[in-house]
Amino acid sequence: MPEYVISKTEINRIKKAYATLLISLIVGQILASKILHFPITIINYFYFIIAFFLLGVLSFRLLNFLLHIKIVLSTQMLERINNKTSESFLIKNIIKVKIKRTTKNTIREIYIWLQDGKSVFISAIENFEQFRNDLISKLDKNVAVREMHEPIDFDHPLFYSVLGLPISFIGVYLIKLITNFNYARIGIALLVFSVYLLVIGIYFIYAKPISKRYGNKTRIIDFAFGIFMICSGIICAVLTKTI
């Protein structure tokens, strides 16, 4: 049976992209604070760097976890194996497949939906094109297979270098704008933010985007992050009543 392993080159690319984005965000904040005349204290920079560092540690751990995964594809079963644990999906239960390609026509990710409502996302595989052809050859003719292309080149060396600049400018501008709000507007802003946090939290608990890519062992991360976001949203909603 064909076995497909994770591409170390792709994992290293993702890690490099994250580090580049972090540097771009820091530079963007410095420029934005000067251009918008809104000084940011060193302690605030420290909090920002710590937050992204912790997020980076979690992301890098997940990526290293992904390196241990291999996909086994037989005529009847798709199996995702990570060390001694495995998840099996019957080929006959697959009802829909979506293939995401980069602007260079390489495969970024494959989304697979099954009859029982489950879904599995496959990414960062070596010989991805071969896996795609192997999978499709085993599917029933009635299975919907759709391909889509990313609108821009996310793999371009300058993409993440530039991306952090507008994000930082927007973030600094919004903070500056909120500091000039009266109490009523601050309350409205907090209420909108709380709704956003609640939606994100519910999404992580319901959709489980991390465990669908990394396996059931990471399901606790989806639930923990979802609960954290929901609790944060509730706290923001409560704060609106005190303003």
CB 230 within 8 A of CB 201: yes
pLDDT digits (tens, 9 = 90+) for 190-239: 888 889 889 999 998 988 888 887 777 778 888 888 898 899 889 888 87
Question: Whole-model pTM?
Answer: 0.79
DSSP the chain: --EEEB-HHHHHHHHHHHHHHHHHHHHHHHHHHHHTT----HHHHHHHHHHHHHHHHHHHHHHHHHTTEEEEE-SSEEEEEETTEEEEEEGGGEEEEEEEE-TTS-EEEEEEEETTS-EEEEESBTTHHHHHHHHHHHS-TTSEEEEEE-SS-TTSTTHHHHHHHHHHHHHHHHHHHHHT--HHHHHHHHHHHHHHHHHHHHHHHHH-HHHHHH-GGGHHHHHHHHHHHHHHHHHHHHHHHH-
CATH no. of 70-149: 2.30.29.30
CB 226 within 8 A of CB 202: yes
Q: Which of 107, 98, 112, 154 is nearest to 127 (CA)?
A: 107
CB neighbours of residue 209 within 10 Å: 14
pLDDT digits (tens, 9 = 90+) for 75-90: 899 999 887 788 899 9
- Mean pLDDT over each residue of the chain, to the nearest integer: 87
pLDDT of residue 67: 84
Q: Which of 48, 28, 228, 11 is nearest to 126 (CA)?
A: 11
Going from N- to C-terminal start, the domains of the chain cover: 70-149, 181-243
Query: Measured between alpha carbons, how far is 206 from 108 in angstroms, rounded to an integer?
Result: 24
Q: Residue 120: beta bridge partners?
A: 112
Does residue 243 carry a pLDDT above 70?
no
pLDDT of residue 242: 65
pLDDT digits (tens, 9 = 90+) for 7-44: 999 888 888 988 898 889 889 988 998 998 888 778 87
pLDDT digits (tens, 9 = 90+) for 166-192: 998 998 888 888 888 777 777 788 888
